[in-house]
Amino acid sequence: MRFVMGGRPDEDQVFTDPSGNFRLDDVAPGAVTITAKADGKAPARKTGLKVTSDQVVDVGTLVLEDGRALRGRVVAAKDDAPIAGATVSVSQPQGLMVSFGRDTSAGAAISPADGRFEIAGLDPRTYAVDASQPEYSTNSGRVEISADADTDDFVIKLSRGGIITGLVRDAQKVPLPNASVLLTKMPMS
């Protein structure tokens, strides 16, 4: 089991000992959140912990419950053929309340030859789902993980990438080298 403090890429992290104990040293004074994570378990968090200089804060016992699982298949949109080597990741959806610098990743899996995947240890909630494979275009969407049951047949369809071409010119019809062209993609349904 690992303990994470802060939820940032540069966060402090330690692993528990064989008895489940942990210790985070040299924690800067202030309010912190700690999160305990283990494979197949939903994370446990304690927020608003107040750390003061030269004092020990005992957070007690954090209990990790069995998490829910997302199981599914990654298939080709053209013919529903399984896609091997697709990376499927779930994260907390980004919205108006984005926490900059906070790690929102909840799990990931890579599909084998049959295209199936499983991501376990999820809290019941809505997640953003992203799927990618080098020979296909990336696809994104959302999934609702129920508190009552695992999600067992979530299908993600990937399409082979297409090509878009064009020409950028100014008002006098002179080609503009180094002009930026932005593509915005609609999420999967």
Nearest to 40 by CA among 104, 109, 100, 95: 109
Q: How far is CA 104 from CA 9, 93, 94, in A?
A: 10, 8, 9
Whole-number mean pLDDT of the chain? 87
Q: Whole-angstrom distance between the N-terminal and C-terminal Cα of the chain?
A: 35
pLDDT per position as a tens digit, 58-95: 999 999 988 999 999 999 999 999 999 999 999 988 76
Measured in residues, the chain has a length of 189
Of residues 144 and 162, more confidently modeled: 144
DSSP character at residue 186 = P
Residue by residue, DSSP assigns 35-89 as: EEE-TTB--EEEEEEEE-TT------PPPPPBPEEEEEEEEETTT--B-TT-EEE
* Residue 98 pLDDT: 46
Separation CA 122–CA 130 (nearest Å):
15
Close Cβ partners of 132 (under 8 Å, ≥ 6 residues apart)? 86, 87, 138, 139, 158
pTM: 0.68
Q: Mean pLDDT, to the nearest integer, of 153-168?
A: 92
